[in-house]
Amino acid sequence: MGGRKVGGPGTERLEAGGRTVETTIEVVLDPRLQVSMDILQARQDAMMDAYHLAKPLYEAQQALAAINARLNDVRGLLGDDGPDALTSDVDDITRDVRQIQQRMEQAGAGARTSNAMQSFVGEPTADQLWQINRSWRLLPGVIEQINAVITDRMPGLITMLYQPGVGPDTLKTVEVPIRPAR
């Protein structure tokens, strides 16, 4: 079921040690809760929508951390007496990466709504749904900007510092997410 089911019958499978065990289960709601299935389903749908943002958001954050680490390495190699053109390029990329990080903060808000939704049993708020929708609109563009730094800007910087065939590995791009259909 993997978090997709709110209640009712289902089949679970466990694979371990070369063996597979399968059983039928029924998810029963807490009888103390007086919440309609429609509200629970709306909550679950919103939480899954936010959940699908978490992986690309994490990978984008990791990519930005790798870019920043690489820029710090370059600054270390340049020292205080590096060529002005190269230092200027590093400063320009650093400024652009900071702007991307600010945009990513905005784009990531929807992924963080699932924590708030888990803390109560009820319909997601209009603001939570708005944040999730906004994240799905913004995050792909932010990731495209990160990928442009990785594929277009960083290689040029590295080739100015190192001889061909020498230097750090190319940074990995981030897969641009596509919102799953409901």
pLDDT tens column, 2-16: 455 566 788 888 899
Please count the other Cβ atoms lying within 10 Å of the Cβ belonging to residue 138: 17
Spatial separation of the C-alpha atoms in residues 181 and 141, rounded to whole Å: 19
Q: Whole-prediction pTM value?
A: 0.80
* φ/ψ of residue 171, rounded to 5: -70, 150
pLDDT score of 30? 74
Spatial separation of the C-alpha atoms in residues 23 and 11, rounded to whole Å: 6
SS3 category, 179: coil
Spatial separation of the C-alpha atoms in residues 59 and 66, rounded to whole Å: 10
Which whole-number Å values give the CA distances from 13 to 10, 19, 47, in the listed order?
10, 10, 23
5 CB-near residues (< 8 Å, 6+ apart): 27
pLDDT score of 165? 83
Q: Does residue 115 contact residue 124 with C-beta atoms inside 8 Å? A: no
Domain boundaries, the chain: 35-161
Residue with tokens 């808000």: 109
Spatial separation of the C-alpha atoms in residues 113 and 7, rounded to whole Å: 22
pLDDT tens per residue, range 16-40: 999 999 998 887 777 777 888 888 8
pLDDT score of 4? 52
> Which positions of the chain have pLDDT values less than 70?
1-7
Spatial separation of the C-alpha atoms in residues 58 and 80, rounded to whole Å: 34
